[in-house]
Chains A and B, each alone.
Chain A
Amino acid sequence: MIKQNVIIAEGLSKIFGNFVAVDHISFEVAKGEIFGFLGANGAGKTTAMRMLCGLSTPSSGKATVAGFDLFKDTEQIKKSIGYMSQKFSLYEDLTIRENIQFYGGIYGLSKKQIQDKTAYLVDHLHLQNYQNSLVKSLPLGWKQKLAFSVAIVHDPAIVFLDEPTGGVDPVTRREFWELIYDASERGITVFVTTHYMDEAEYCNRVSIMVDGRIEALDTPNNLKKTYNSLSMDEVFLKLARKAARGE
């Protein structure tokens, strides 16, 4: 079986004035894969991700996302992806139900689909007692799980997660990754950035960015072999120390 690639990037770059934030990155992500996108702060991860989501126009290079050209079909791409940013981006002054309804609605789901999704998510995330509470009253870990579920409410081909577990306790992080595996099993490709190396081990493949370039890209096990390390932590330190850029 030939693996189908849902993200293909070739020489993608983003330049802000004199600053090359992302420097000719090329990679492919296969359908259903969990792709870890690692790098130190300021390495260019978020910029790269924002380009792939159509939030930022690349300065040069080529890319297709979910089969659509990044330059020509940005609006088509937006229908096929989900995105969860570093900033929490559900409406805190709306209830859980209202947030699901709103995002389902603007992704064009039917009333029936929204109802089903809401019922499923409330049940799945054990939010029965909170479905009519305002989102701001939820603990951070729950908010993040909800934000992820809302980001894939329209069953996109790919979901982009930008440091989704920042500041979340280990138990909730574990639960969060279970949600990611669920999504992956349903065929949703997961593109995730993280600073937690244990999370990097959960990924099918990992790329490590240093100073805007992709320095390494392989499965966690192969990376450990290549860099002669016992853990991903060691791999990351060996690579990231080479960085010339500060924060």
Chain B
Amino acid sequence: MSVLKYLLQKEFRQIFRDPSILKIIFIMPALQLIIIPLAADYEVRNINLSVADHDHSVYTQQMIQKIKSSGYFKLVNYSSTFQEAFTSIESDKADIVLEIPANFEQNIVREDHASLFIAVNAVNGMKANLGASYLQNIILNYNNQIRTKWIQFPPIHPQTNIKVAVSNWFNPMMSYKYFMVPAVLATLLTLLGTFLTALNIVREKEIGTIEQINVTPVKKYHFILGKLIPFWILGLAVLTIGFLIMRFGYQIHPVGNMLIVYLFASLYLLVILGLGLLISTYADTQQQAMLISFFLLMIFIMLGGLFTSIDSMPDWVQKLTWLNPVSYFIDVIRLVVLKGSGLSDIKNHIFVIIGFAIFLNSWAVLNYKKTI
């Protein structure tokens, strides 16, 4: 036991003596947690709109006004020919062209029927798609508004309307921050844990101190525990900082019990530290360790459900995500923070993650050799 004490003492001394490591551990995740959720926002704003107006009537002015005031669109070009409006899409100034035909107002008033044309720049598919549907909604809304003005107190509404009332549970404002911040935190913890463990051990290989340790009677499990325990503690510290930023920076009040997240995170950290350890037993240089970690983590994060929903992935990819520890942690942290899930709800997640921890760490220990 006392050997372990000396190993831990040494490890902590080295960590706290290296200012760059401390910055990487404590400042970088905090900064990223502050910046990334702002960038990873799925709400589409600032859609550049170009209008080709052949009508120039009061109605078109009202409609454009309504579109502008929605906050989603920026009118970048207002012209009287479609050609001119379309040039603005070609030159990438506009994302959407709204063409208003001549006699638009007249047609609505006299014939009770008018059509509009929307041309979308689909290079950015998401922006185009959402932009077009926002635009349609706004126009529909405007249409309803003018119609109700004409027909006063009709016995029966001329158009049968089915109104759907949607109520968003667990994230009532549909704010992407609620969705992203906990998941980004989970991802950052994963990156940090894997990289730090892998690089730390490979660094000892590179400078040759690991060989010095290998000629001493230090037991394999002592050495490994001496490496895992410090990073486990640091991981929980980073998690705590992340939660503070989440709570006070983003005003996200966790619905569930944070102790459950800590319990899960403490098991999860064993998985990712085990992964780092495993990588270090295969890599001889820090470059190798970086590349292997990067490759694996890239897959884990892409398939982790951070940016794209796992439920909308193809069936076989969904099955692949079962092998991805990151997806379990992102799931748990979202469930607890947003939905307030309890221990019994994430029981399966816990079992799976314990399985991962045992598997990866045993593999790493078996592969770690004191001799060549």
Q: Which residues of A contact B (CB under 8 A)?
A: 50, 53-57, 74-75, 78-79, 81-83, 85, 87-94, 98, 101-103, 105-108
Is the Cβ of A56 less than 8 Å from the Cβ of B371? yes
Please, which residues of chain B bring their CB within 8 A of the CB of A50?
A: 372
Please, which residues of chain A bring their CB within 8 A of the CB of B5?
A: 105
Is the Cβ of B208 less than 8 Å from the Cβ of A107? no
With the chains together, A89 CA to B7 CA distance in Å? 15
Interface centre among B5, B7, B215, B372 (most CB of A within 10 A): B215
| CB within 8 Å for A54 and B371 given contacts A93-B14, A94-B14, A105-B5 | yes
With the chains together, A139 CA to B205 CA distance in Å? 23
A-B contact count (CB 8 A): 74
With the chains together, A125 CA to B211 CA distance in Å? 25
Please, which residues of chain B bring their CB within 8 A of the CB of A92?
A: 207
Is the Cβ of A106 less than 8 Å from the Cβ of B371? no
| CB within 8 Å for A89 and B208 given contacts A55-B214, A105-B6, A106-B213 | yes
Smallest CB-CB separation from A75: which chain B residue?
B217
Please, which residues of chain B bring their CB within 8 A of the CB of A89?
A: 207-209, 211-212
Is the Cβ of B209 less than 8 Å from the Cβ of A106? no
B residues 212-241 near A (Cβ < 8 Å) are 212-218
With the chains together, A93 CA to B236 CA distance in Å? 25
B residues 1-40 near A (Cβ < 8 Å) are 2-3, 5-7, 9-10, 13-14, 17-18
Please, which residues of chain A bring their CB within 8 A of the CB of B370?
A: 54-55
Q: What are 15 A-B pairs at a CB distance below 8 A?
A: A55-B211, A55-B214, A57-B372, A78-B217, A79-B217, A83-B215, A89-B208, A89-B209, A94-B10, A94-B14, A102-B6, A105-B3, A106-B3, A106-B217, A107-B216
Q: Which of A57, A74, A106 contacts B216 (CB 8 A)?
A: A106
With the chains together, A50 CA to B211 CA distance in Å? 10
Smallest CB-CB separation from B10: which chain A residue?
A102
Interface 1/0 per residue, B187-217 and A, CB below 8 Å? 0000000000000000000011101111111
Smallest CB-CB separation from A78: which chain B residue?
B217
Extra inter-chain contacts (17) besides given A87-B211, A91-B10, CB under 8 Å: A56-B371, A56-B372, A75-B217, A78-B217, A83-B212, A85-B208, A87-B208, A89-B207, A90-B209, A92-B207, A94-B10, A94-B14, A98-B10, A98-B13, A105-B3, A106-B3, A106-B217
Interface size class of B (residues with CB under 8 A): 20 to 34
Is the Cβ of A101 less than 8 Å from the Cβ of B211? no
| CB within 8 Å for A53 and B215 given contacts A87-B208, A98-B10, A105-B3 | yes
Please, which residues of chain A bring their CB within 8 A of the CB of B18?
A: 93
Please, which residues of chain B bring their CB within 8 A of the CB of A108?
A: 2-3, 217
| CB within 8 Å for A54 and B208 given contacts A91-B14, A93-B18, A101-B6 | no
Smallest CB-CB separation from B226: which chain A residue?
A106
| CB within 8 Å for A54 and B213 given contacts A93-B14, A106-B7 | no
Please, which residues of chain A bring their CB within 8 A of the CB of B216?
A: 78, 103, 106-107
Nearest chain A CB to B79's CB is how many angstroms away?
67
Nearest chain A CB to B22's CB is how many angstroms away?
13
Q: Which residues of B contact A (CB under 8 A)?
A: 2-3, 5-7, 9-10, 13-14, 17-18, 207-209, 211-218, 370-372
Please, which residues of chain A bring their CB within 8 A of the CB of B217?
A: 75, 78-79, 106-108
Is the Cβ of B207 less than 8 Å from the Cβ of A87? yes
Is the Cβ of B212 less than 8 Å from the Cβ of A55? no
Nearest chain A CB to B121's CB is how many angstroms away?
55
Is the Cβ of A85 less than 8 Å from the Cβ of B211? yes
Please, which residues of chain A bring their CB within 8 A of the CB of B9?
A: 102, 105
With the chains together, A114 CA to B13 CA distance in Å? 18
Please, which residues of chain B bring their CB within 8 A of the CB of A91?
A: 10, 14, 209
Nearest chain A CB to B10's CB is how many angstroms away?
5
Is the Cβ of B3 less than 8 Å from the Cβ of A94? no
Please, which residues of chain A bring their CB within 8 A of the CB of B10?
A: 91, 94, 98, 102
With the chains together, A115 CA to B9 CA distance in Å? 16
With the chains together, A105 CA to B370 CA distance in Å? 19
Q: Which of B17, B208, B215, B218 contacts A88 (CB 8 A)?
A: B208
Nearest chain B CB to A216's CB is how many angstroms away?
28
Q: Which of B3, B7, B14, B215 contacts A55 (CB 8 A)?
A: B215
Smallest CB-CB separation from B223: which chain A residue?
A106
Smallest CB-CB separation from A86: which chain B residue?
B208
Nearest chain A CB to B35's CB is how many angstroms away?
31
Please, which residues of chain A bring their CB within 8 A of the CB of B218?
A: 106
Nearest chain A CB to B104's CB is how many angstroms away?
75
Q: Which of B6, B13, B17, B212 contacts A85 (CB 8 A)?
A: B212
Smallest CB-CB separation from B212: which chain A residue?
A89
With the chains together, A93 CA to B123 CA distance in Å? 52
With the chains together, A119 CA to B52 CA distance in Å? 88
Please, which residues of chain A bring their CB within 8 A of the CB of B212?
A: 83, 85, 89-90
Please, which residues of chain B bring their CB within 8 A of the CB of A98?
A: 10, 13
Please, which residues of chain A bring their CB within 8 A of the CB of B13?
A: 94, 98
Nearest chain A CB to B40's CB is how many angstroms away?
37
With the chains together, A98 CA to B12 CA distance in Å? 12
With the chains together, A156 CA to B13 CA distance in Å? 27
Smallest CB-CB separation from B206: which chain A residue?
A87
Is the Cβ of A81 less than 8 Å from the Cβ of B215? yes
Is the Cβ of B213 less than 8 Å from the Cβ of A57? no
Please, which residues of chain B bring their CB within 8 A of the CB of A83?
A: 212, 215
Is the Cβ of B2 less than 8 Å from the Cβ of A105? yes
Please, which residues of chain B bring their CB within 8 A of the CB of A103?
A: 216
Please, which residues of chain A bring their CB within 8 A of the CB of B371?
A: 54-57, 74
Please, which residues of chain B bring their CB within 8 A of the CB of A55?
A: 211, 214-215, 370-372
